Structure 1
Amino acid sequence: MKTAFVVLLTAACAIGQAQASSAQAWKDLDKAVLAGCLKASQLKDVKPVGNSARFDDRTGFDAVLLQGHYPQKHMNNRQGRELCLYERKTGTASVTEWDSIQPR
């Protein structure tokens, strides 16, 4: 009985380790999220503000706050912010203006 428990415990640990992502996989995902969000942005000289927020797999999204300058002439190079949502399943990024947020 004790041997069966040890075998099951060892198998469960091995399965958990096999499903874990490598450090390189997380770095690659971070690069993809940032690249997708920067490409989707309408701002010029756009940069991320802080780190992305990674939601769990039930949601499947990462969120990134972006900051840059409005390119339209009438905006006089005014600073602007956008919130980017990156869908991990499809690799698509969507942005919306979010100037109401005031990061510290």
Structure 2
Amino acid sequence: MPARSVLMPARAVAVCLLAAALLPAQASSPDAWNAHDREVVERCLHESGLRQARALSAPAEFDDRVGYAALLIAGYLPQAHLKAQRVQMLCLFDKLSHEVYLSELLPQPNRRP
């Protein structure tokens, strides 16, 4: 009898896990995606520190294995000595931690092919 009582709960757990694995995955709702996109844009623009910052693209969503969304933004550097130079930045938004990483995009020098 003791062996049977141990096997029954283990079997029940296995059946439950199998059933859960076979259920279809739930996709995020359009409202959830819109809220995510708003957060990406708002965080990137704020963290950039640029004056008159604006998004030049919609957030580019990478696969969940990568875990980032990217956004191209532009605005003016706030430092007076830089004479309000216009710059573009690439913003990476970590989907798990909600951290923002920014890098200025520098123009490529003219090169002859």
TM-score, normalization by structure 1: 0.77
Q: What percent identity do the matched residue pairs reach?
A: 32
Unaligned runs of 5+ in 2: 1-21, 109-113
Measured after TM superposition, the shift of residue 42 of structure 1 is: 2.5
Residue in 1 that maps onto 2:80: 73
Give the letter for the 1:15 counterpart. Answer: P
Q: Which has the higher contact order (CA 8 A, sep 6+)?
A: 1
TM-score, normalization by structure 2: 0.71
Which has the greater radius of gyration? 2
Once residues 83 and 75 of structure 1 are traced to their aligned partners in structure 2, the CA distance between those partners, rounded to angstroms, is: 20
1:85 matched to 2:92: yes
1:62 matched to 2:69: yes
Aligned residues between the structures: 88
Measured after TM superposition, the shift of residue 99 of structure 1 is: 2.9
Q: Secondary structure at the match of 2:106?
A: coil
Structure 1 stretches of 4+ with a deviation exceeding 6 A read none
